[in-house]
Structure 1
Amino acid sequence: MTVVSTGEKDNRGVTNGFDHSTYLPSNDMRVFQVPDEILFGGTWEVPKTTCLLGTRSHALNDYRRLQFLHSVSAPLLLPEVNCISKLLIRRKDFPNINLFSLTIMMHSLTCLESVHIERWSYGNVIYEGAYERCFMSSFNLPQSVKDFSFYQDNNTLYYHRLVGANHVVETMMSGLLSKVAEMAENIAISHAYEAKVIFKHPYAWRFKKLKTLALTSVVLAVCDEHAVNSLLCRVAKAAKEIPKLETLEIWGYKTLYQVPPYDKITSVAIFTYKRLDQFNSCISWKSNSSFKMSEETQAHWNDVADGQDANVSLKYLELDPNVSSIGAIHNHLALMDRILHNTSWAQV
């Protein structure tokens, strides 16, 4: 565990990060990805430097998971800590932290302003179910949080092979958003909350101070023109009600696996809205498939940028049709630093 002081005068400038110096067998850290062949049978000899079937075990070798001893008769409570303002848990360190212990720590960190959590999925039905039950019942955010980032790891081959569709925790995310909506300035939620669900009821939350918002949507990845235009129109209506919005980004990434010879088709789409000043904004659509926004969609986004006096530019960019990973598109994301920690992009 590393604690770094930023030297702020109010004694609230302490970053709490969980980090284990773990040997990584390769520079790009992709050794934990399962070969395509394993999805369709065959054998695979697991190197000693990796864990079984491309995912980390419940506890890493030579390390014991960070957890507290507790009992039902004597619930564990930690003293209130008001000198820590930032919590960062990187993807590679998530398996080393007991989730119950994490929630206990969260309850004691009453002055957190920034929470950035990157999940590493266990790829095991039992562990995933236990995680979701614990997360939904006990995870909490203090109202002081201004920056909230949550990345749900759901794109590994191992995860899709054993667990199937992602068990999203939308109910819990709704509660978290309701709690921090008025104070939040930056929110990034990936693979844990479908964007179309959030914007289905665009006035459910009042984001009075929100400046940046990054979400994921399978609708964009499927790239059905009618569905995408419908979603973007709903997003525009919601964006108009966010007075301080500077950047909004919705992106989708989906890989479809086919029968041997193990061909796969990857669909990627990124929608980005940036407000440049009071009357100037820009919209970009980046994808490896063909799509054009409808006139109705463009009109809705003109309205977001102050209607008739607005100048909204629209750009299209064609991405590589052979994109092999989420990490390969990170340079095309305007909010990439809020979605994942810089070093984590090499792992996804």
Structure 2
Amino acid sequence: MSQVSNPTSAGPSGRFSRRGILGGGVTVLAAGALSACKSSTSSAEAGSGSGGAQKGKKVIFVVHEKNSFFPPVQKGFEAYGKAMGWQTQFTGPATFDQSTVVNMMQNAVNAKPDGLILTRIDDTSYDGVIKAAQAAGIPVILSNVASADYEKLGVGFVGQDFVPAGVTAGEQILKHIAKQGRRSGAIVIGKIQAGNSALEQRGKGIKQAVSDYNRAHGTKFTTEDLIVGTDEAGAVSKIDGRYSRDPHSVAGWAGTAFECQFVATWAKSKNLVGKFANGGFDMTSPVLAGIKDGSIDYTIGQNPWAQGWVAAALLAQQIDPGYPSFTYDTGAEVVDSSNIAAVSAREAKVA
């Protein structure tokens, strides 16, 4: 998923950048937003949005795991839905399980909603559900993760361009390692799930950045993957196990999601903060707190609010008047000590 060269128009793939959309390049989405804002005005008085022709429409959003990343996504989705007068449902398993996710998505299709938003974290497992929805005349858009060849399904996607975002993350971890004067060592690439295409692509980008840095600077950094899961106790145990095997080899921990918060918890408990660089992705409360107290050096944001609000807006234009969706890149925002106060204040509004 690459950015288009002209951000105010779509290329053959139908992709748009955030800058193009926000700059006025997409009249349809702007019109949808205006409609939502008008509905919002009436909802302040009546307690529900008018939504025009879409009032009362049922829209379901199913994610692969309702972990700590998703509350802003849910709030963005529900805010747009309220403005349109939709009946909204945001659902997903508490912890990831492939068969459970597929069943929940199929149940959503069986409920015959007017629109459906899904996460697609691998290349094949969810395609049957997507095709079943389309066969039933249910508009579908993907959010957060789309995976390879999603375009062939005829659906749009709202989310990050993962490999370039991984490159950005790799550049950040190397910048903070350089402050320690190191020229070699392992950069441990953390992952909360195996096989999640977003995490794999971010990891690929981190490795690309490290390789490029080594060539440019004559350094000898290596990379290795570590699956830690989403449970903090289990993650801390795996992090401690890797570090204990060879403490001096670790130059930095580069998460592909919010693994850096687990590294911070562990490092603080062991008085190891500052012995290595630590960063990752997402803007969960523990991650932002870690940047504030110095146990995390950076994180890469991906505008979760947009993954709810913009996905809903694009779905709305599919529902009525029937415009197709496209791809919207939610970006790779670098958050560190220089902007943590402003970002924390913003994220507190949608946590």
- Which is richer in strand? 1
Q: Which has the higher contact order (CA 8 A, sep 6+)?
A: 2
- Which is richer in helix? 2
If the length of structure 1 is used for normalisation, what is the TM-score?
0.28
If the length of structure 2 is used for normalisation, what is the TM-score?
0.28
